Amino acid sequence: MKRFLLVLGLLAGAWGWYERQALADFPGILSAYSAKEYCSCRFVMGFDAPYCRGYVSQYLPLSRLDEDTPARVVTAVGLGVANTARWRGVREGCGLLP
């Protein structure tokens, strides 16, 4: 049984090393997706805030989702990474800010 757990641990470590870039990128993906989709839901589609909060909810919760309605800017923070999206216009919709 100990050998099995050791082999399983080594395989998990090898997989983690192989996927290290994807694992490192994941925290930023959660907040970027949420900021952009919430911005699009609110300012492109015109839905109300509670609906859009439900629309962007994930299995991993955001620690913060702020909306600046007059400026049409949304900031999402999840897993320690913040991303901001802004409405750019009727033809362009919403996009992430650098």
**Beta bridge pairs of residue 96:** 85
What's the mean pLDDT in 82-98? 96
Residue 47 confidence (pLDDT) above 80:
yes
7 vs 1: CA distance, rounded Å: 10
Helix/strand/coil for 47:
coil
The model's confidence at residue 34, banded by pLDDT at 50, 70 and 90, is very high
At 65-84, the pLDDT tens digits run: 999 999 999 999 999 999 99
pTM: 0.80
What is the per-residue DSSP string for 51-87? Answer: HHHHHH--SSPPSEEEEETTTTEEEEEETTEEEEEEE
What's the mean pLDDT in 16-42? 91
What are the boundaries of each domain within the chain?
A: 26-96
pLDDT at position 59 is 77
Residue with tokens 């620690």: 63
What DSSP character marks residue 45? S
